[in-house]
Amino acid sequence: MRHEDPWYDPSALGWDEPYGAGSPAPTVPPARGEPDAAAARAREVYVEVQRSAAFQEVRGRYRRFVVPGVAVFLSWYVAYVVAATTAPGLMARPVVGAVNVAMLAGLGQFLTTFLLTWAYTRHARLRRDRAALELRWDTQELTRETRGGAR
């Protein structure tokens, strides 16, 4: 019986496999071969850079901004959710016309998201980007040297 269904595909079902039933499937080569000496030296370069004082300073600057920023933002978000669920009378209190406290707090969530994004990009641009770029160039130069010059 022949199927005229356009969605019927024997190859998708595995019926027309060249090795068929009972034959061993072809072996799949490993994803990565044995690392050569140049790759091992390049890996050591990255570990050395990660342990460097310059890298630790960039990571420290990142953490000193992100950890307090995340803590403040999550606290503000949780306070909004808790207030909305436990104090509906407060959140329903009108401020101006039909605008109530809940609407202002919800809009404040959007505003703080944009302000935090702006502050993060400004902090990154002024305090981390240049140092991170210098680290990147130094790392690229060191790995190029370990692999035997420019490619």
The encoded tokens of residue 91 equal: 């959140």
- pLDDT tens-digit map of 20-45: 555 666 666 555 655 667 777 878 88
Q: Where are the domains of the chain?
A: 36-145
Per-residue pLDDT of 46-64, as tens digits, reads 888 889 898 899 999 999 9
Q: What is d(CA 121, CA 127) in angstroms, rounded to the nearest whole number?
A: 10
Distance separating alpha carbons of residues 2 and 8, to the nearest angstrom: 10
How confident is the model over 5-22, as pLDDT tens digits?
Answer: 555 555 555 555 555 555
Most distant CA pair in the chain, distance: 78
Q: Is the pLDDT of residue 151 over 70?
A: no
Please identify which residue in the block is written with the tokens 């130094």: 138
pLDDT in tens, 65-124: 999 999 999 999 999 999 999 999 999 999 998 999 999 999 999 999 999 999 999 999
Is a pLDDT exceeding 80 seen at residue 142?
A: yes
